[in-house]
């Protein structure tokens, strides 16, 4: 009679969501920018919204709350205000 070998199985690895690539974010940001009529001086807000949508798995461009985005930027870059540079 053959001896049964018991194999311990490791628990399955948790699902890891990869961050969107630069190219994916750029494409989403451009779509959002065009959807909003190609506004000036809001590159950072649109880029962050594109990242947020992609990270959340949201595939459809939609409007965003600029105050929420600016609060996020202020947290990352204290004192930066609304000054932006063009991409």
Q: What CA–CA distance (Å, rounded) separates 28 from 30?
A: 5
- Contacts of residues 35-44 at CB distance under 8 Å and 24 or more positions apart, as own/partner, are 35/61, 41/82, 41/84, 42/66, 42/84, 43/84, 43/85, 43/86, 43/87, 44/69, 44/73, 44/84
Q: Is the pTM of this model over 0.75?
A: no
Say what percent of the chain tops pLDDT 90.
Answer: 37
In this predicted structure, the answer to whether residue 35 has a pLDDT above a threshold of 60 is yes
Q: What tens digit of pLDDT does each residue of 39-63 get?
A: 999 999 999 999 999 988 866 555 5
DSSP 6-56: P-PPPPPPPP-PPPPPHHHHHHHHHHHHHHTT--SS-HHHHHHHHHHHHHT
């Amino acid at each position: 009679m053959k001896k049964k070998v018991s194999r311990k199985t490791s628990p399955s690895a948790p699902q890891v969501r990869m961050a969107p690539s630069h190219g994916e974010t750029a494409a989403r940001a451009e779509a959002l920018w065009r959807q909003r009529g190609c506004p000036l001086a809001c590159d950072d807000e649109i880029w962050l919204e594109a990242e947020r949508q992609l990270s959340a798995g949201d595939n459809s461009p939609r409007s965003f709350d600029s105050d929420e985005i600016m609060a996020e930027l202020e947290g990352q870059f204290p004192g930066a205000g609304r000054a932006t540079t063009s991409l």
